[in-house]
Structures are given as C-alpha cells and as structure tokens.
Structure 1
Amino acid sequence: MTNTVRASNISAILAVGEELRQLLHAEDPPIIKDRRYHLKVYENCFVGHEMVDWLLRKGESGEQSRGICDDHEFKDEKLFFRFRRDDNTYEEPPDAMIVAKGQRIYSRYIDMQSVVSDPVGYGFVIRGSRPVYVHTVDPSGPAASAGLQVREYLHYVNGQDVLDKSHTDVARIILMGSSTASLVTFVEKDRLPSN
C-alpha cells in the first residue's frame, strides 16, 4: 500500500512539474530561455525571482516552488535554475512515460458523443491502454454517425473516468451499459482543426 501511495505521489509531482515546465516555455515572452552571464550562455533556464513573480501573477503561492532543486534550496533571487528535463540530467522513473503521454494530451479538444448500438454493434474498435484510443470506425456504423473519429482518446465512458484503464476494461464498461454508449473524447493538441 505504501509503495502504491508513493508511486501515486511521484506521478502527481511529475505531472505538476512537467505542466509547469511547459507553461514556462510557452509564456510570451518565455520565462525559460537561454541566458547570458559573464560571457557564458546558460541554456533553457529561468531566474528564481521571475518564476516567483510569475507564480504570484497566476495566483499561485510562492511556497509551491520549494523543493524543485536537487543541489540547493530554491530562492526568490536573481539566480538561474533549470528543470532537469531541460538540461538532460533527468532519469526517467518507470511511470514517467505515462505522465509524459498524459502531458502531451493535456491540452486537448474535448468532444461528447452518444453512440447508440445497432444490431451489429457500436461501429468502432478501441485499442491501447492509459489512455485508450479509437482504432477504427465503421464508416456506415453508429459511431461514424455520432461523429466519433479514429485517433480520438476516451476520457469518460458512461460517466466513468477511463484514462487509467486498458482497452479490455473499457470494452467491458461499454458492453455492461445500455444500448447507448456516452463518450467523452479528446484528441492531441497537434491534431486540432485550424480555424
């Protein structure tokens, strides 16, 4: 039980850290960038006090930035800091791939569909695990009529969060329900339609 709780905490910390890193890279102007000090360039770093100012502007507490450094304590000063993922010293824990996959799809387009089965079935096939995705859609089936598309990820099925389930578990949830499967799906940010 303790190892499960510890792994869950590590996953949550990794997710929050990676989200913060991506937000800081995406800021305009960027907070994480190459910086010059005494004729030396420090790549992909941020200044401690700029990070704290940014957190406060976003309504976050400066206390949340504690513990982000291995070698010394984080300080609200003009010191350079860097995420380990940005300086290539990051050692991937076993569940980091799941966290990274989750972060890639974190910025997502969410869609809701109700797929009513016909005598043949629902008209789609799912694959994958954590998260499950739509592998194929029968063009003349109920899923296509409802707007379901290939490469959409399933977030909720019949009101149940399925992000951490395998495709066999999700299929069971769909088949245990009524003849209507209520789906909340999303796609990766790079697949969003351009306006």
Structure 2
Amino acid sequence: MTDHSRKDFCPVVSTLSTYQIFLIGEQLRSCMNGVGLVRDRKYRLRSYKSCFQGNETVDWLVRSKRCEDRLFAVRIMRVLQKWAFFHHVCDDHKFKDEMLFYRFRRDDDTIRSHKDLLLFYKVLDIYHSINSSKKGILRSYQLKEQVYARAFMGTAFVDWLVKTGMADTKEQAIITGRQLLENDIIRHVSLSSAVTDDHHFRNDNMLLYQFNLDLDQRRRMSDVLILDDQRRMSTDSHNSTEPQDTPTRFLESHDFSTHANTCDNECYEMNSTETEKPANTSLMQPNSVLLRYETADELESPDTPYIKSCVRIFSDSVGYGFVIRGIGPTYVQTVDPEGPAADAGLKVRQYVYSVNGVNVLREDHHSVAQRIINSERDYINICVMSHKRDM
C-alpha cells in the first residue's frame, strides 16, 4: 500500500468513529428526555434550563442496565463529555457522580462552536428525513452482478436537498454532499461494483452513493469506549493504518496466559520451546495490512462487500502459521507462506468471524488467541470475511 493510502486512512477511521460516538450520545439524550432526566432545575435561587444531574443520571444508567456499575457509567459519560457532546452548565467540572448539572450541547447554543457535532445533527436530520419520505430517493441499484440496497444518485440527492429546503441552492447541496463524503458519512459506489473514494461528490446521475452509517441502529453504551479508543489510536499513530495493538503469533505449544497482562502497545512472538520477553516495539511493530479498518457493524451490514468463508487449519510441528491483530474485529495481519494456514487458504486482510463455531467478530485479538490456544484438537475451524476485491 502506498504512503498516500496510509495518509488517507486515519481521517476515515477517526471521523467515522467520532460520528458513531455522537450517535450513541444522541440515543442517550433521547432516552433521558423520555424519562424526564432532562428538565429545568434550580440551585441557590438560580435557574438552569434543560439540564440533567450527574448522580441521577448514574442511578438511571445502572438501574436500566445500560452500565454495569457506577464507575463504568462515569467513565462512559466522561468520554461523551470529552467529545463535547455535553458540558457542565458552568464549564467547571468533569462529569461526576454528584449533584452537579450538565447540559447537552444540542439543547443550547454552544453546539455552534463544534463543527463536527453541528455536521452530525445536520446529517441526522437529512438521514431521518430521507428515510421517512414516502417518495424517497433511496432504492436498490444493480451494477453488473452486485446489488446495492438503499443507494442514491448524486443528482437525486442534490434535487432532494433543494426541494426539502435543506439547501437553498444546488451549489449548497453539492457542498453538503462533499462534506458527507469527505467525512466518510456516505461512500461512492463505482461502476466496477466496488466501494471506492476515487470520485468527489458530484451532481451526476451516473454516480451512486450509500450511507456508511445506519443512524437508526441501536448501539450499546459500552461501544463508546471502543470507538473512543479507535479514534485516539488512529490519531496518535499518524502513519499507521489502524489502531495500534499487539500482534499475536499462533504456535502450537505455549502458555498464552503468561502474557495476559502485557501492555497493548507491546509486540511479542512465542514459540513451542520457550517464551520470549516482549521486544522493542519500534523494531517489531509492523504497519497494518488493512486498506480500511471496518467495524463489526459494517461487516454484519446487509450491504457489506465482505463475503464469509470457512477453512480448517491443522497445526504442524511449529504451529498454525499466522498472525492476528485488532481490537474487535480481529483480522489476519500476516500468513507464513510455507505454513498450514497458507495451505488451508487463509489470507491477509481477512477478518475473523468465528473460531470453532463461536462468533468472535467483536472480540479483540487476545480473546481470539485464547480460543485458538484452548482448542482441544490439532486443528481449528475458522470462518473469515474477505472483501470482494481480494478474492
């Protein structure tokens, strides 16, 4: 992969993760309004409009089983606060399990100073309006042998924005389309039946687009932590093509539990005769082979370009012969060309869907490694997901 590809990858992951965090925050805001947690309050003769109280919110999050305990609830709320989804009414406190007041930025004018959040709500309005329209622009298109559901043409999108008043002119509508494409909210589908970013958004009846996000999908609160980690790691790594984590080499005889507490940014390899100490990461940490880091939700989408296949890999005297990475989903980083994994047909860039019949799509590479190591047979049945371009 070229340096240009790596450069372009990080904004894609970080931007998409940011809007997924906002989506979880908006679903939370909607629920909290529904149960009366967001309301006008008074403290020391001063009124605070449309706000919620820290300890009441934590009570509700734990009671409704959205969070496992109070500390976990505070941790999740602080991530949402970090991404400016809400703030303390006087901007004096981080979120605390105390009698402190906070306000969602959607409910006051402070949202105008946060362009990502402002664009998210613009996208949300567009998405819901398009999906609720009886004569919407979303339909299925067939390009060669591939059917793309819920897609739209550039011209139809521009005309629809102007007709509904979401854009005053076609020029403004085109700018909106470009904002959505640049922030990975929509993606272009080429005539070669492959998802690509080669084209800028255009007012064209020959260019087909799809939404990258399902804004109606219910998300778990705990996903905030995973998405925040993806966003942070993709930003920190700069030239890396996905969040940095530890590759794990699967060999036949070793005790993985001895490395269970190894820091995520360390890199190590274990063999059948001895366990080595983690090596210098600057020398051993390879760049990811991924062209684009997909989320588990994207892989399970009905419109995913990934195809599932299953292989059985027999261990030889050395091991299985492949390396995995990822924080959920896990993917194949390298395959020994002379090892049993290569003989079975395993390839790099494949996402691990299941191991011995157990779905592991949302498990990190440590958990997937443990399942493989704990296999009671001399082989593993592994199902993987491959992009059509790699088949």
Query: What TM-score do you get using the length of structure 2 for normalisation?
Result: 0.29
2: CA distance, partners of 1:122 / 1:96: 29
Determine the structure 1 residue equivalent to 2:152.
Answer: 30
Aligned partners of 2:296 and 2:362 also within 8 Å: no
Please, which runs of 5 or more residues in structure 2 have no aligned partner? Answer: 1-61, 77-123, 132-136, 142-150, 178-210, 214-222, 231-293
Aligned to 1:111, the other structure's residue is in SS state: strand
Aligned partners of 1:125 and 1:134 also within 8 Å: yes
Aligned partners of 1:152 and 1:186 also within 8 Å: yes
Give runs of aligned pairs for residues 157-172 of structure 1, distance below 5 A.
157-172=355-370
Q: 1:147 to 1:26 in 2, by over 3 A?
A: farther
Please, which runs of 5 or more residues in structure 1 have no aligned partner? Answer: 8-16, 46-82, 86-92
Q: 1:162 to 1:103 in 2, by over 3 A?
A: closer
Determine the structure 2 residue equivalent to 1:40.
Answer: 168
1: CA distance, partners of 2:384 / 2:336: 17
Cα RMSD (Å) of the superposition?
3.8
Q: In the alignment, does 2:371 pair up with 1:173?
A: yes
Query: What TM-score do you get using the length of structure 1 for normalisation?
Result: 0.55
Q: In the alignment, does 2:133 pair up with 1:3?
A: no
Choose which of 85, 89, 101 in structure 1 pairs with 2:295: 101
Aligned partners of 2:296 and 2:361 also within 8 Å: no
Partner amino acid, structure 2, of 1:105: L
Larger RCO (alpha carbons 8 Å, 6+ apart): 1
Determine the structure 2 residue equivalent to 1:74.
Answer: none
How far did 1:103 drift? 4.1
2: CA distance, partners of 1:184 / 1:26: 31
2: CA distance, partners of 1:40 / 1:162: 47
Aligned to 1:186, the other structure's residue is in SS state: strand
1: CA distance, partners of 2:320 / 2:344: 10
How far did 1:40 drift? 3.0
Give runs of aligned pairs for residues 8-157 of structure 1, distance below 5 A.
27-28=140-141, 30=152, 33-34=157-158, 35=160, 36-37=162-163, 40-41=168-169, 43=173, 94=224, 97=227, 101-106=295-300, 107=304, 108-157=306-355
Partner amino acid, structure 2, of 1:150: V
Determine the structure 2 residue equivalent to 1:183.
Answer: 382
2: CA distance, partners of 1:101 / 1:40: 35
Higher helix share: 2
Report the count of equivalent residues. 135
Q: For 1:11-42, what per-residue CA distance to the aligned partner results, in whole angstroms no more than 9, with x for missing partners? A: xxxxxx9xx99x97673472871223389348
Aligned partners of 2:322 and 2:334 also within 8 Å: yes
Q: For 1:141-187, what per-residue CA distance to the aligned partner results, in whole angstroms no more than 9, with x for missing partners? A: 00000000011010100111101111111111011111111000002
1: CA distance, partners of 2:341 / 2:383: 13
1: CA distance, partners of 2:359 / 2:298: 18
How far did 1:3 drift? 2.1
1: CA distance, partners of 2:325 / 2:139: 32
Q: 1:132 to 1:33 in 2, by over 3 A?
A: same
Deviation larger for 29-38 or 162-171: 29-38
Q: 1:136 to 1:30 in 2, by over 3 A?
A: same
Q: 1:159 to 1:94 in 2, by over 3 A?
A: same
